[in-house]
């Protein structure tokens, strides 16, 4: 399967980037971190970007400094989500700069971030769940979403399109969307009770969920379900790119919640308007 992503390396640091965004490099910075290039130790080795999972706080901050310096981002301008596997979305403004990294968050239960303010770096955290990047080149608006199975069944990707339209007059046909590295349908086992949650969505997901009779398990394709949701909201199919990189299959390069049995750090999806 063709990948719509590539790895940039600088000494020990490895970062995922996306070809579809390369033509907009004068306007945005978009990347996804890997495990490599940081200072964290043990199960968090080495580029852990999650403050709330037990790692040494100073190590995490240093990791953000390394990550940001490579991308030419001011780490003090980062705004980090407050994820709860939901579909709530926050409009990020100038006053929010630094929240979650150098200032306390004054929000919770936020799995999506959008802004039209330059030099604010939006960040969501991942270790199997899908990072979804949104860019409206016409109105210069960006968005990031964290989509696990709960956020997907709550249709956060569709909510992002609607929120960007409501707040910033985004036309869905103008959106460029990337669904970054996440667990693939070959690796992601769920039981029937979770599978049934997909039955309540606004789209038919049956073709995106397989069943293994021997294991009595279901296997949802979370990235492609989100792609279908986006198309249903009017995003052009050719403007949606899936990285086709599985975090669990590549757990030497990525933290994977399932692959590392919960003993892991977190990757960061980052997106900023220049």
pLDDT at 222 over 80: yes
What pTM did the predictor assign?
0.98
How far, in Å, CA of 69 to CA of 50, rounded?
Answer: 18
Report the pLDDT value the prediction gives residue 29, as an integer from 0 to 100. Answer: 98
Average pLDDT of the segment spanning 23-43 = 98
pLDDT at 61 over 90: yes
Report the pLDDT value the prediction gives residue 126, as an integer from 0 to 100. Answer: 98
* Residues 208, 211, 215: CA angle, nearest 5 degrees: 145
How far lies 29's CA from each of 21, 24, 46, 127, 175, in Å? Answer: 8, 8, 23, 21, 16
Question: What are the tokens at 272?
Answer: 């900023």
pLDDT, one tens digit per residue, over 126-161 is: 999 999 999 999 999 999 999 999 999 999 999 999
pLDDT, one tens digit per residue, over 177-192 is: 999 999 999 999 999 9
Question: What are the tokens at 47?
Answer: 């580029």
Report the pLDDT value the prediction gives residue 1, as an integer from 0 to 100. Answer: 64
Confidence band, pLDDT 50/70/90 cuts, at residue 2: confident
Whether the CA torsion 172, 223, 267, 24 is positive or negative: it is: negative
Domains and CATH numbers, the chain: 6-184+223-273 (3.60.140.10)
pLDDT at 6 over 90: yes
Percent of the chain with pLDDT over 70: 100
pLDDT mean across residues, the chain: 97
Q: Of 129, 151, 130, whose CA–CA distance to 257 is shortest?
A: 129
Confidence band, pLDDT 50/70/90 cuts, at residue 3: confident
Give yes or no for a contact between 39 and 12, defined as CB atoms under 8 angstroms apart: no
Average pLDDT of the segment spanning 73-101 = 97
Report the pLDDT value the prediction gives residue 26, as an integer from 0 to 100. Answer: 98
Percent of the chain with pLDDT over 90: 98
pLDDT at 196 over 70: yes
């Amino acid at each position: 399967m063709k990948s719509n992503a590539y790895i940039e390396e600088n000494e020990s640091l490895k970062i995922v980037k996306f070809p579809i965004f390369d033509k907009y490099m004068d306007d945005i910075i978009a990347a996804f971190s890997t495990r490599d290039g940081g200072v964290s130790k043990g199960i968090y080795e080495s580029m852990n970007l999650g403050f709330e999972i037990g790692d040494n706080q100073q190590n995490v901050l240093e990791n953000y400094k390394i990550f940001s310096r490579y991308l030419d981002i001011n780490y003090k301008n980062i705004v980090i989500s407050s994820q709860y596997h939901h579909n709530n979305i926050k409009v990020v403004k100038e006053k929010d700069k630094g929240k979650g990294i150098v200032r306390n968050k004054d929000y919770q239960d936020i799995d999506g971030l959008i802004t039209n303010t330059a030099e604010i770096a939006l960040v969501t955290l991942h270790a199997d769940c899908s990072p979804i990047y949104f860019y409206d080149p016409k109105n210069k608006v960006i968005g990031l979403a964290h989509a696990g199975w709960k956020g997907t069944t709550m249709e956060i990707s569709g909510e992002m399109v609607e929120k960007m339209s409501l707040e910033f007059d985004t036309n869905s046909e103008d959106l460029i969307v990337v669904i970054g590295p996440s667990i693939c349908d070959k690796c992601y086992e769920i039981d029937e009770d979770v599978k049934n949650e997909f039955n309540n969505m606004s789209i038919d997901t049956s073709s995106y969920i397989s069943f293994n009779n021997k294991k009595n398990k279901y296997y949802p394709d979370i990235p492609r379900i989100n792609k279908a949701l986006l198309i249903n909201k009017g995003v052009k199919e050719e403007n949606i790119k899936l990285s086709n990189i599985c975090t669990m299959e590549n757990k030497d390069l990525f933290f994977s919640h399932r692959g590392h049995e919960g003993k892991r750090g977190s990757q960061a999806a980052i997106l900023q308007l220049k």
